[in-house]
Amino acid sequence: MNAPLPQDTAATAPLAFTGKARVALNDPRLRANFRRAMDGLMSKRAAQFADADEWRTLRARGAEARARALAKLPDLLERLERRCAENAITVHWAETTGQANAIVLDLLTAAGAKTVIKGKSMVSEEMHLNAHLAAHGITAIESDLGEYIIQLAGEAPSHIVMPCIHKNKAEIAALFAEHIPGQPYTENVDDLTGAARNALRGAFAAADAGISGVNFAVAETGTLVLIENEGNGRLSTTLPPLHIAVTGIEKVLEFLDDVPPLLSLLPRSATGQPITTYVNMISGPRRPGEKDGPQAVHLVLLDNGRSRVYDDPQLRDTLRCIRCAACLNHCPVYTRVGGHSYSFTYPGPIGKILSPQLEGLDCAGDQPHASSLCGACAEVCPVEIPIPDLLVRLRGEAISPTSRAVKGGGSARSLGDRLGRRLSTAILGQPRLYGLISRLAGRIGDRLPSWLPGLNRWTRVRSKPAFARRSLHALARERGYADE
Amino acid sequence: MNDTARAAILARLRAAPRSPAPAYPRPGTPAWAPPVHGSERLARFTALLEAAHAEVYQASATDWPARLAELLEQKAVARLLYAPTTPAGRQLAQAWGEATDGRPRLIAYDRPVEAMKETLVSGVEAALTGTLGGIAHTGSLVLWPTPDEPRLMSLLPPLHIALVEETAIADSLSALIASQHWAKAMPTNALLISGPSKTADIEQTLAYGVHGPKALIVLVIRP
Ligand code: SF4
């Protein structure tokens, strides 16, 4: 039995985060699905890193490997390209997702490919590759079980490691009964998994090409490292005659020796596993005498705004990310609203700093505000990305009058913001005025109605704060501190 | 075709402010070193693989084919894919040749995949491969497929049986990369395998064999 024809993933139109989040918060099924999943992932990760010393040293090594690779990025990309060429892997460069799509389409067309089997790849989601291929008559079938499920549902992933985490068994059972010919409704997970295996086996054997992402690209040896549990990644990159890998330009590592520490951090942070079932290290197509493996391997390096991110020494840390999703799993916002509330390919804390930089603050400027700045993301990040600092930086860029560091910088400067800033600068700059206003607030603050404009944005979902009777300044003066 | 893209990307990266690269390895603390398991190696290797739903047995260099025959009979395997030109493959064929009991038929992976796709995808219940060794730290098998022993053997059949020399079980991947000088010459496909194929995509419930083998048997060959 062949796999049913997949539908195109619906491209979701970017909507304001708050609106989507409100809808998600009112969906009890969605919230239950996420709550269960995230609690499990958090406790599994905690068990893996029970030894604080080990976590600290391993994490320092992982962060160092990523920071070193980024510091040498242009050199390492050239080295990677050279080593890949020596291994007979052809390297392509794309500035935009449009160029990357065109490269993939050209390779497939030249090979006469009609159907493609895909391993999981967030970069291909970023490219909306499936829709592009479908528009040119090429069918791309997702083979990761989670991706397959959401492809049947016509949805986008809601998590970067577990794409269909927002769905429960009953929803999946209904999807399979509807889309897989001859499949009865069952909530038995083994049966559902078996049905997917049967549906996809034929697709693997018949596919003209396989497309995958890349977890690490090793410059020293020209090796593409892919990690996964299902074996679909291995099948996609081994069985079809052509393998095309797509990756962001930041995924490079300098040495093969950098792989083990990151390999130890990634699955443990992601799903609490000591290692994934399969670690697939690809260093070339089938060589003379070998009986299997693809005849040709291509690597597409995608920029899509990453070199702009790279241009700022602070924001550059964004590019260290190894896509483990630990920050999503621990984020009090993500775990309540789920991934679809973010509108962009990368949800959760990493998305909140990556999307505005890739897409522009004018388009994704609300993302850095979808955070309580609690710091949970930075605490669990295995490569020490200071996510809250970057969130604050991006919030600043959005209203900075001169910002050029981020695409769309300064775009959130409204008249209200400008006036507000001027007003507060004026008040703070005049100690006597400031003193007067804070005394006044102490007197009448508690009597202000909560619907007052300015106050109501806070009080809509929180109780009104109690104003202090006496200001810190006054208290300090009483205790004998000099007030300057 | 995309020389311009390449030049533009590299030019932007080169024009960016350079920060000094952290030294490799980073001097000072905290210093990470791959774990050493010493005499605990085999025990850890076995425990982790079993925790990952694999079955681990021990055998000697001479009696493993007989042990394998027993296991295959229990699992009702009728056709076993094997690599006829490896030392293990020869030993297996020899052992099978003399036997008269109901052992599974041996199917040789002796032609390119294009000529054997049907057999590989749905024509065998199990496959036997060797390994380069094992890793105690993560409970992993290390495979470097070769022309004699191709990649798909460990992936397509529902049951994968792997032979590991006990003496080839290393402490960690780092130790192997260093001691065997992997960086000098990587094979087209190096693999770590740490259990049968699995997924937890449906409500975080573990299910085995979603695409690759549903079961993994590891035969540790004692010296
Ligand atoms: S930002 Fe850190 S925690 Fe989040 S996905 Fe990336 S590496 Fe993981």
Q: Summarize pLDDT for A182-240 with one digit per residue, the tens.
A: 999 999 999 999 999 999 998 999 999 999 999 999 999 999 999 999 999 999 999 99
Mean pLDDT of B148-177: 97
Who has greater pLDDT, B167 or A478? Answer: B167
CB contacts, 8 Å: A41 with chain B = 204
Q: Are residues B83 and B129 in contact, defined by beta-carbon separation less than 8 angstroms?
A: yes
CB–CB of B192 and A284 under 8 A?
Answer: no
Residue A13: per-residue pLDDT: 44
pLDDT score of A44 more than 70: yes
Which token pair is A325? 């999703």
Residue A9: per-residue pLDDT: 37
Residue from the list A249, A263, A290 with its beta carbon closest to the beta carbon of B173: A263
Q: Summarize pLDDT for A100-123 with one digit per residue, the tens.
A: 999 999 999 999 999 999 999 999
Residue from the list B145, B183, B198 with its beta carbon closest to the beta carbon of A256: B183
CB contacts, 8 Å: A263 with chain B = 173
Residue A429: per-residue pLDDT: 87
> Which residues partner with A118 through β-bridges?
A142, A211
Residue A3: per-residue pLDDT: 41
Which sequence spans correspond to the domains of chain A? 51-304, 431-479
Residue A152: per-residue pLDDT: 96
CB–CB of B24 and A37 under 8 A?
Answer: no
Look up residue B56 and give its amino acid. Answer: V
The 8-class DSSP code of residue B102 comes to: -
SS (H, E, C) chain A: CCCCCCCCCCCCCCCCHHHHHHHHHCCHHHHHHHHHHHHHHHHHHHHHCCCHHHHHHHHHHHHHHHHHHHHCHHHHHHHHHHHHHHCCEEEEEECCHHHHHHHHHHHHHHCCCCEEEECCCHHHHHHCHHHHHHHCCCEEEECCHHHHHHHHHCCCCCCCCCCCCCCCHHHHHHHHHHHCCCCCCCCCHHHHHHHHHHHHHHHHHHCCEEEECCCEEECCCCEEEEEECCCHHHHHHHCCCEEEEEEECCCEECCHHHHHHHHHHHHHHHHCCCCCCEEEEECCCCCCCCCCCCCEEEEEEECCCHHHHHCCCCHHHHHHCCCCCHHHHHCCCHHHHCHHHHCCCCCHHHHHHHHHHHHCHHHHCCHHHCCCCCCHHHHHCCCCCCHHHHHHHHHHHHHCCCCCCCCCCCCCCCHHHHHHHHHHHHHHCCHHHHHHHHHHHHHHHHHCCCCCCCCHHHHCCCCCCCCCCCCHHHHHHHCCCCCC
Q: Summarize pLDDT for A314-340 with one digit per residue, the tens.
A: 999 999 999 999 999 999 999 999 999
Q: Probe ligand 1: pick from A227, A309, A385, max atoms within 8 Å of CB? A: A385
Residue from the list B2, B183, B204 with its beta carbon closest to the beta carbon of A37: B204
The burial class, CB within 10 Å (0-12 / 13-18 / 19+), for A53 is exposed
Over chain A, what is the mean pLDDT? 91
Which token pair is A407? 């695409």
pLDDT score of A383 more than 90: yes
- Residue with CA closest to ligand 1 atom 7: A321
Return the residue of A nearest to B146 by Cα: A290
CB–CB of B192 and A278 under 8 A?
Answer: yes
CB contacts, 8 Å: B83 with chain A = none
Query: Quick one: pLDDT band at residue B28, thresholds 50, 70, 90?
Result: low
Residue A419: per-residue pLDDT: 82
CB pairs under 8 A between A and B: 256
Mean pLDDT of A263-268: 97
Predicted structure pTM score: 0.91
Residue A340: per-residue pLDDT: 92
- Residue with CA closest to ligand 1 atom 4: A327
Residue A477: per-residue pLDDT: 84
Q: Summarize pLDDT for B103-132 with one digit per residue, the tens.
A: 999 999 999 999 999 999 999 999 999 999
pLDDT score of B86 more than 60: yes
Q: Show the domains of chain B with their CATH numbers.
A: 40-197+207-221 (3.40.50.10420)
The Cα–Cα gap between B53 and B208 comes to 9
Q: Phi and psi dihedrals of A34, rounded to 5?
A: -70, -45
Atom of ligand 1 nearest to the CA of A348: 4
Which ipTM value was assigned to this complex? Answer: 0.96
Q: Which of these ranges, A360-374, A459-473, B73-87, has the smallest mean pLDDT?
A: A459-473
Query: Quick one: pLDDT band at residue A246, thresholds 50, 70, 90?
Result: very high
The Cα–Cα gap between A61 and A58 comes to 5
Please give the share of chain B, as a percent, with pLDDT higher than 90: 87
Residue A4: per-residue pLDDT: 42
Q: Phi and psi dihedrals of A399, rounded to 5?
A: -115, 5
CB–CB of A106 and B1 under 8 A?
Answer: yes
Look up residue B153 and give its amino acid. Answer: M
Mean pLDDT of A263-277: 97
pLDDT score of A8 more than 60: no
pLDDT score of B181 more than 90: yes
Residue A468: per-residue pLDDT: 82
Q: Are residues A367 and A354 in contact, defined by beta-carbon separation less than 8 angstroms?
A: no
Residue B97: per-residue pLDDT: 86
Mean pLDDT of A121-126: 96
Query: Quick one: pLDDT band at residue A281, thresholds 50, 70, 90?
Result: very high
Homologous superfamily of A51-304 in CATH? NagB/RpiA/CoA transferase-like (3.40.50.10420)
Q: Summarize pLDDT for B75-84 with one digit per residue, the tens.
A: 999 999 999 9
Look up residue A351 and give its amino acid. Answer: G
Residue from the list B177, B191, B202 with its beta carbon closest to the beta carbon of A278: B191
